[in-house]
Amino acid sequence: QVQLQESGPGLVKPSQTLSLTCAVSGGSITTSGYSWTWIRQPPGKGREWIAVIRYDGSTYYNPSLKSRTSISRDTSKNQFSLQLNSVTPEDTAVYYCAGGPGLRVGVQGYDYWGQGTQVTVSS
């Protein structure tokens, strides 16, 4: 079955760039019709959709984060990545990668989820 695994630093300093990678196994990120997304959940708050990259490389972003966010992929490694620039303590959250068929821009309805990775923004 398809499995997703997030990786990246658990601690980032304010004003720096947060970089996370999601490795996908058991399926290809270029499978027609599939989308791969990043979602986060700050402590004590609900989940927030960040960005999605589709099987064809097209991307969509949460307007509130778009100016600081970049989602990309490496098809040779079957993984996709997130970069969030100029982070502040408000970016502290558990970050999840998720995916599945169709195009979704919210926090629900994905067939596959990573376990999540804690990222703390602190000096």
Q: Looking at residue 65, what is its pLDDT?
A: 96
Contacts of 110 (CB under 8 A, 6+ apart): 37, 98, 99, 100, 104
Q: Looking at residue 99, what is its pLDDT?
A: 96
Supply the DSSP symbol for 106: S
Q: Looking at residue 103, what is its pLDDT?
A: 87
Indicate if the alpha-carbon torsion angle 87, 90, 93, 95 is positive or negative. Answer: negative
Classify residue 91 as left (phi > 0), alpha (psi -120 to 50) or beta: alpha
Q: Looking at residue 7, what is its pLDDT?
A: 97
For the chain, give the percent of residues with pLDDT over 90: 94
Whether 99 contacts 24, CB under 8 Å: yes
Q: Tens of pLDDT along 24-72?
A: 999 999 999 999 999 999 999 999 999 999 999 999 999 999 999 999 9
Q: Looking at residue 105, what is its pLDDT?
A: 84
CA distance 69 to 50: 8
Token pair recorded at residue 115: 């376990």
CA distance 55 to 47: 24
In terms of C-beta density within 10 A (0-12 exposed, 13-18 middle, 19 or more buried), how is residue 72 classed? middle
Q: Looking at residue 63, what is its pLDDT?
A: 97
Res. 20: pLDDT tops 90: yes
